[in-house]
């Protein structure tokens, strides 16, 4: 597949050569995209700026119709788009299909929610005065998205931005741009006017610099690492960009002694092993109450042993490859570090990296402690380290002892203990007996160094709106 930029309603291959897109399950080339830079980013922003005045004045009903056409096209083509995703990023096909459905859910939800951008009137303190508050689209939005959810991270930015009346420029991840290209082809078919949606592929740092310095851009929405998020925040200070940053996480999972252990194991498997552990909301650290650790770890070991590893296009595969060599090496390093510091491997602990394909086996580690890398840094792999705790207070303290604050999970059937834990976790997303809390209609995002702002839900639309206060003296 030969991907192209989409700028001002035209497909283009401009740039400094191409980027080869590789399949991490086979080492084969899936296709190419142009290696764009400053010029393409500038053209895309200028196209978006030129399209904005007219687009922002269309009705929310009109924008909703276009979004729904795009939604329907995505659903009609979900198998094909999902196959592209599995080939370029490795996740099992069933998960890719799930991600397309999840992406489409953002589009339809925001197509509706865009009709409910209400302002308000406020009683004034002087006679003859009227106070109006109105909401308007922020303007040109640029987005930078990662490879682990090539469709959903873009859709959950693009759909609310368009619903709000903003024009949009996307830069998909280098490793997974082809899914985005196909989604843009479908958006073009849906009929968005030229310049309203644009996409450039290529050098992240060059495109990022233009995104954060061009005076026509009003908002940057980014999903990726905390490190790059901080860099973009610094760069954005020059133009005082409105920012939404969805950054790294280090999710704790707490299993209390009154939890339904079978359900907790299912929840942990869903949270930990989805996408081979390559999600920012993946459980990273599992804290299990002492009295049940033996039963829980045995059951988790059995569940992990049953997971089928392989090429995501093959029937029944549940764990695909890691996305690249760096990803594989990081996982192997985390496991080695844990074992060196006293962890016991219950299952896995090894993998196979050959011919540019990178498979790591689902791994469960017992006797983890707070000094291990796995307990402090995002592993981004299928590794489940288990550590024990005694009291609920200790579990919350351990869970909060991190600079991250994206997602946290816990399992208990007690309303009292669960309420205490939910209310004391310093996390933006909390799953209570739920390993998969993400939903289009719910606000997703982190506290602390996990970011700024929320995506999805009402907050996800608000992120693309400015508040204007109009004071009228009659």
Catalytic residues: 246, 280
Which of 208, 321, 348, 418: binder of ligand ADP (CB under 6 A)? 208
Burial class of residue 141 (count of CB atoms within 10 Å of its CB; 0-12, 13-18, 19+): buried
Judged by beta carbon, residue 145 or residue 311, the one nearer ligand ADP is 145
Piece in contact with ligand ADP (CB under 6 A), picked from 71-79, 223-231, 251-259, 416-424: 223-231
CA distance 174 to 33: 9
Which of 163, 173, 217, 304: binder of ligand ADP (CB under 6 A)? 173
Judged by beta carbon, residue 173 or residue 259, the one nearer ligand ADP is 173
Q: Residues with Cβ < 8 Å from 452, sequence gap 6 or more?
A: 243, 244, 245, 445
CA distance 450 to 252: 14
Report the residue closest to ligand ADP, judged by CB. 208
- Minimum Å distance from CB 286 to ligand ADP? 22
**x/- map, 231-250, ligand ADP, by CB under 6 A:** xx------------------
Judged by beta carbon, residue 35 or residue 108, the one nearer ligand ADP is 35
CB 296 within 8 A of CB 288: yes
Examine residue 225 and tell whether it contacts ligand ADP (CB under 6 A): yes
Question: How many residues make contact with ligand ADP (CB under 6 A)?
Answer: 14
Question: Which residue is it, tokens 């035209």?
Answer: 10
Task: Give, as ranges, the residues between 130 and 149 that touch ligand ADP (CB under 6 A).
Answer: 144-147
Q: Residues with Cβ < 8 Å from 82, sequence gap 6 or more?
A: 93, 96, 97, 99, 100
- Minimum Å distance from CB 225 to ligand ADP? 3
- Minimum Å distance from CB 146 to ligand ADP? 3
- Minimum Å distance from CB 250 to ligand ADP? 14
> What are the strands, taking DSSP E only, across 361-406?
363-366, 383-389, 404-405
Alpha-carbon distances of 131 from 120, 128, 137, 359, 470, rounded to whole Å: 9, 10, 20, 61, 6
- Minimum Å distance from CB 433 to ligand ADP? 28
Judged by beta carbon, residue 146 or residue 249, the one nearer ligand ADP is 146
CA distance 426 to 383: 23
- Minimum Å distance from CB 52 to ligand ADP? 22
Task: Give, as ranges, the residues between 174 and 193 that touch ligand ADP (CB under 6 A).
Answer: 174
56: tokens are 């922002």
What are the backbone dihedrals phi and psi of residue 287, each rounded to the nearest 5 degrees, phi first? -105, 120
Question: Which residue is it, tokens 């925001």?
Answer: 110
**x/- map, 10-49, ligand ADP, by CB under 6 A:** ----------------------------------------
> What are the strands, taking DSSP E only, across 300-382?
344-347, 351-354, 357-360, 363-366
Judged by beta carbon, residue 145 or residue 318, the one nearer ligand ADP is 145
Judged by beta carbon, residue 146 or residue 283, the one nearer ligand ADP is 146
Sign of CA dihedral 442, 397, 419, 366: positive
Residues that bind ligand ADP (CB under 6 A): 144-147, 173-174, 204-205, 208, 224-225, 228, 231-232
């Amino acid at each position: 597949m030969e991907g192209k930029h989409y700028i001002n309603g035209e497909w283009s291959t401009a740039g400094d050569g191409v980027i080869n897109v590789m399949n991490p399950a086979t080492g084969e080339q899936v296709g190419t995209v142009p290696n764009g830079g400053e010029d393409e980013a500038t053209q895309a922003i200028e196209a978006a700026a030129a399209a904005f005045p007219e687009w922002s004045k269309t009705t929310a009903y009109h924008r909703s119709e276009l979004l729904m056409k795009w939604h329907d096209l995505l659903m009609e083509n979900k198998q094909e788009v999902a196959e592209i995703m599995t080939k370029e990023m490795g996740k099992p096909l069933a998960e890719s299909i799930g991600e397309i459905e999840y992406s489409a859910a953002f589009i339809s939800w925001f197509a509706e929610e865009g009709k409910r951008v209400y302002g308000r009137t406020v009683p004034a303190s002087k006679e003859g005065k009227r106070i109006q508050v109105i909401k308007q689209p922020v303007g040109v939005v640029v987005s930078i998205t990662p490879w682990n959810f090539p469709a959903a991270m873009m859709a959950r930015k693009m759909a609310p931005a368009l619903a709000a009346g903003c024009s949009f420029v996307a830069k998909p991840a280098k490793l997974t741009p082809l899914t985005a290209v196909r989604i843009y082809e479908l958006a073009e078919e849906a009929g968005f006017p030229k310049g309203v949606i644009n996409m450039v592929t290529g050098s992240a740092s060059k495109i990022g610099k233009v995104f954060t310095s061009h005076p026509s851009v009003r908002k940057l929405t980014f999903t990726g690492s905390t490190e790059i998020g901080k860099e973009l925040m610094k760069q954005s200070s020059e133009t005082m960009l409105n920012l939404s940053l969805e950054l790294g996480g280090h999710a704790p999972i707490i299993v209390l002694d009154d939890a339904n252990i079978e359900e907790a194991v299912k929840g942990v498997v869903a949270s930990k092993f989805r996408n081979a552990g390559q999600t920012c909301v993946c459980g990273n650290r599992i804290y299990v109450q002492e009295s049940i650790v033996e039963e829980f770890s045995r059951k988790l070991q059995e569940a992990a042993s049953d997971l089928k590893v392989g090429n995501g296009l093959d029937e029944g595969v549940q764990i695909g490859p890691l996305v690249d060599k760096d990803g594989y090496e990081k996982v192997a390093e985390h496991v080695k570090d844990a074992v060196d510091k006293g962890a016991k491997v219950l299952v896995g602990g090894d993998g196979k990296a050959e011919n540019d394909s990178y498979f790591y086996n689902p791994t469960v580690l017992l006797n983890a402690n707070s000094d291990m890398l796995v307990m402090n840094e995002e592993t981004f792999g299928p590794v489940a380290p288990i550590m024990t705790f005694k009291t609920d207070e200790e579990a919350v303290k351990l869970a909060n002892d991190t600079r991250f604050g994206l997602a946290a999970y816990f399992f208990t059937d007690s309303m009292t203990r669960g309420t205490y834990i939910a209310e004391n976790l310093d996390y933006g997303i909390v799953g209570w007996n739920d390993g998969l809390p993400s939903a289009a209609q719910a606000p997703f995002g982190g506290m602390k160094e996990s970011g700024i702002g929320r995506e999805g839900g009402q907050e996800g639309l608000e992120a693309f709106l400015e508040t204007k206060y109009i004071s009228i003296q009659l």
